[in-house]
Amino acid sequence: MGLDKDVKGMGMPWEDEYGYAQAVKVGDTIYLSGQLSHDAQGNMVGPAPLDAGNRILDHSNMQVQMRQSYENAKTLLGRYGATLDNVVEEVLYVTDMDAAFAVAGPVRKAMYGSQRPAVASTVLVTPRLALPAQLVEIRFVAKV
């Protein structure tokens, strides 16, 4: 017996290229794939400057990318009639921990509208994400 999955996407080319769902709802739980900082056309918002070898030169756009990643999560959650208030867990994957910690508190508090968001949160550093100019990716689990 299979699960009843309600799948949503954002129409990004990498959904078909990689072969995955941006969001899946099973029962009262919504799972969002890692969200990054793209606009509605799939263009990176606040791309990191890169050297000739596609290595990140600086992480000064961490805040811009983090905000857009949360905005994209809000869009997907909205397709299920949910909001960030429904989020119970998040995992932030970042390319620089110091840059992330410098902006994550204020960004998260603003996005969740709370000085202490009621969300379990984990931050992990990785040397690289899917796109070379990407500094952050955020995965969410929400309950409705």
Map out the domains of the chain as residue ranges: 5-143
The CATH number that domain 5-143 falls under is 3.30.1330.40
Residue 44 is classified by DSSP as: B
Distance CA 3, CA 23 (A): 15
On whether the CB atoms of residues 98 and 61 are closer than 8 A, the answer is no
Mean local confidence (pLDDT), 19-45: 96
Please determine, for residue 1, whether its predicted confidence score (pLDDT) is greater than 80: no
Q: What is the pLDDT of residues 55-108, one digit of tens each?
A: 999 999 999 999 999 999 999 999 999 999 999 999 999 999 999 999 999 999
Q: What is the pTM assigned to this prediction? A: 0.96
